[in-house]
Amino acid sequence: MAFPLMTVSMWQSGIISSTGSDASFLWIALAVGILGLLAALFFARSVLAFESGTEDMQRISNAIRQGAEAFMKRQYSTIAMIAVGLAIVLYIGYRLSPFTAPYANKVVISFLIGALCSALSGQTGMFVSIRANIRTAAAARTSLSSALKIALRGGAVTGLIVVALSLLGVGALFLAFGGLRHPQQTPFELVGFGFGASLVALFAQLGGGIYTKAADVGADLVGKVEAGIPEDDPRNPAVIADLVGDNVGDCAGRGADIFESTAAENVGAMILGAALFPVFGLKGILFPLVVQAINIIASILGVSVVHSREDEDPMHALNRGYYVTSFAALVGFAAAVYFMLGARWWLLGCGVCGIITSFLFVRITEYYTETRFRPVQSIAKASLTGPATNIISGLAVGMETPAVPVIVISAALLLSYYFGTLGLADVSTISDYSKGIYGTAIATMGMLSSAAYILAMDTFGPITDNAGGIIEMSNQPDSVRAKTDKLDAAGNTTKALTKGYAIGSASLAAFLLFSAYLEAIHDIVSQRMAAAGEVLSHSWSFSNVNLASVPVFVGALLGAMLTYLFSSMAIKAVGRAAQTVIQDVHEQFRDNPGIMEGTSLPDYGRCVHIVTGAALKEMILPGILAVAMPLSVGVVFRHFSSAFHLNELADAPRIHGVPINLSGAEAVAALLMVGTISGILLAMLMNNGGGAWDNAKKYIETGAYGGKRSEAHKAAVVGDTVGDPFKDTAGPSLHVLIKLLATVTLVLAPLFV
């Protein structure tokens, strides 16, 4: 680990200093983080104060809650063992080198705290969501508006806890590690926090995604296709496992995903802010934390204003809250630029680019996944001629979906880079590249400035889905089911929108973290040369990676391959776990004929236990692959490039006439860069294609093309089972993989030089 030597020496000589007023921004951010936790507690208490329905409704809700809690306990016990083992390896690796040994304790501590905060964000958010479902169902018996408010406030608990813990974790570590005394050095010591958050997020998303889709696929294929019974029919042994999966996959998994995004963005932007310390001082480093504080306040306002009429589409009310949140975030962003970045309004333009990108990603995802638009309707129409044409049409839609989002991301990066150079045009001591990169970092902050509200909308989805299942299984009147169907339809849309938002934020955050990795390599080289009594030329930078270099080309190939291999492993895991569910349902139908006759209940707990074991077993190998690949590439090329004459960086700095071996660092940069690009495209294909398949099925279930139990419906169910692991397992896990690659390379960067 290293830090900018120039700014450290300037600090020590007194040229640059931090004032007490600058430090006050850190205290403000920490205070707002605590406010976010208090607001989450307020929303949780308001949700839990509502009635919990009839005895039958409570029996079903309790089964969902017990299954979810049992899964989470086993999952996080497994993750904890992996995290502790990796922390030991990380500590030993850092202690072995004299350059990294002084930072071993801080990196490992930040890694463990990042992992712990990520786990807490998923656990505490789900604690409320699995209790909000029954209260949403109970409220739907009398009022659609009350049910909407309960579900969104239940989701807001997750959103606020995730962002508040991310803010408090990074801010408290910055303070504890002496950030107010050595502000340029400390951000580099926080990279372990992002790595810990990424690691837990990957396993949480993988395990939850495998669980939820194995249960969903098993329940749909046996229930809807084979037995011809409705969704959430109490005769289906897998139906409770399916409802449990909505919580562990969409609540806990997505919560860990967004937590990781905000944590990694905070650390990466603070590293880039440290490079601009001569311009902004401490305020440039603390700026990302203040933006997250604005996120919390804006999201509280957005959630508080949401209400709807009984005859209103719930999505209209949710969208109003999103618009209020975005506007409040924009106002707060402008105030932060004025007070912290010297009223450089071009830098506000960078933040606006991020906010607009967020809005566009939500709308693009809506177009590809909503039933009223062409893509979903074309898949539904293709179902008339069978499962094969449904799958062909769905794949075609999925492959189309990355086109417009890529243009949006490209425009956001180019504009924010340009605005960054304009905003810092009067600063001659900083390169245009550093100015532009800081602009892209601010754009990422802008995109994540409404993250808490977006996550509240995402968790709204599984809460309303569970509420609909509880209403169905407790035999409530059709008029009540009609209300929960409206909420469920809105929830399906919000879940799809959040996936689009997550991949968009992952795209910008990954570029930010890639830039932070290049900055880290530059500073490591500076430190190694200083230790040898050499001075690094100011003209040299590690900002250009030569694709014609063999290590770079091979690293790029391996990065692209990783995303496809990882996705394959995740999808096959769903298939294998789903087989265990299908076998159990078949056995229960065969051994207990009274289930289908309605005279006896299936053993829901047995199915939950089976799919839990299968999901946890299947999540380990893909997760280990994601961590091991960048480490292997960097270490192998570092140690063997000389033997194969692969150290081709012609302008590499020299120590006593010998060029520094940067082949490992270059190969990892290529793996990270191309892995990010291929991962973004593949995740868009899977998220939007899977969402389109799902809603094509739901479109037919409204009565189109013969409605439920028609041949078109059966074909659409088959297509949906293909799309399910796309949109809820492999696709969301790729969001996390992209950021995990970036954080792991930041932590392990000293090993590659």
Residue 486 backbone dihedrals phi, psi, to 5 degrees: -60, -45
Q: What is the pLDDT of residue 8?
A: 36
CB atoms within 10 A of CB 345: 15
DSSP assignment letter at 183:
T
Residue 343 has pLDDT above 90, yes or no: no
CA distance linking residue 346 with residue 426, whole number of Å: 12
In this prediction, residues 619-626 reach a mean pLDDT of: 81
CB atoms within 10 A of CB 334: 16
- How do residues 508-536 score in pLDDT, each as one tens digit? 777 777 877 887 787 788 777 877 777 77
CA distance linking residue 661 with residue 641, whole number of Å: 8
| DSSP result, 59-112 | HHHHHHHHHHHHHHHHHHHHHHHHHHHHHHHHHHHHHTSTTTGGGHHHHHHHHH
Residue 222 has pLDDT above 60, yes or no: yes
Distance between alpha carbon 559 and the CA centroid of its chain, in Å? 20
Measured CA distances, 154 to 45, 139, 464, 491, 725 (Å): 10, 13, 10, 13, 26
574 contacts 725 by C-beta, under 8 angstroms = yes
CA distance linking residue 524 with residue 501, whole number of Å: 34
Residue 23 has pLDDT above 90, yes or no: no
Q: What is the pLDDT of residue 361?
A: 86
Confidence at 164, pLDDT banded by 50, 70, 90: very high
User: Taking the chain, what is the end-to-end CA distance rounded to the nearest angstrom?
Assistant: 11
Instruction: Kindly report the length of the chain.
Output: 753
Strands 654-655 and 658-659: antiparallel
DSSP assignment letter at 660:
P
Element of type H or E holding 655:
strand 654-655
Q: What is the pLDDT of residue 310?
A: 79
Place of tokens 């569970």: 466
In this prediction, residues 463-473 reach a mean pLDDT of: 84
| DSSP result, 128-155 | HHHHHHHHHHHHHTT-HHHHHHHHHHHH
Average pLDDT, the chain: 83
CA distance linking residue 427 with residue 421, whole number of Å: 9
Element of type H or E holding 659:
strand 658-659
Residue 181 CB burial class (10 angstroms; 0-12, 13-18, ≥19): exposed
Torsion of CA 451, 456, 458, 460, to 10 degrees: -170
Place of tokens 């009398």: 142
- Please give the structure tokens belonging to residue 363: 């709308």
- How do residues 239-271 score in pLDDT, each as one tens digit? 777 777 777 766 767 777 778 778 878 888 888
Residue 738 has pLDDT above 70, yes or no: yes
Q: What is the pLDDT of residue 273?
A: 84
- Please give the structure tokens belonging to residue 448: 């994540």
Task: Name the residue type at position 543.
Answer: S
Classify residue 526 as left (phi > 0), alpha (psi -120 to 50) or beta. Answer: alpha
586 contacts 220 by C-beta, under 8 angstroms = no
Question: Given CA atoms 586, 588, 593, 594 in this order, what sign does their dihedral have?
Answer: negative
- How do residues 104-149 score in pLDDT, each as one tens digit? 888 899 999 988 988 888 787 778 888 888 899 888 888 888 899 9
443 contacts 353 by C-beta, under 8 angstroms = yes
280 contacts 435 by C-beta, under 8 angstroms = no
Q: What is the pLDDT of residue 90?
A: 86
192 contacts 78 by C-beta, under 8 angstroms = no
- Please give the structure tokens belonging to residue 143: 């009022």
CA nearest to 125, candidates 452, 450, 504: 452
Please, what is the Cα angle at 507 between 442 and 256, to 5 degrees? 95
In this prediction, residues 42-52 reach a mean pLDDT of: 90
Distance between alpha carbon 732 and the CA centroid of its chain, in Å? 7
CA distance linking residue 629 with residue 625, whole number of Å: 6
Q: What percent of the chain has pLDDT over 70?
A: 93
- How do residues 76-97 score in pLDDT, each as one tens digit? 888 888 889 888 988 888 888 7
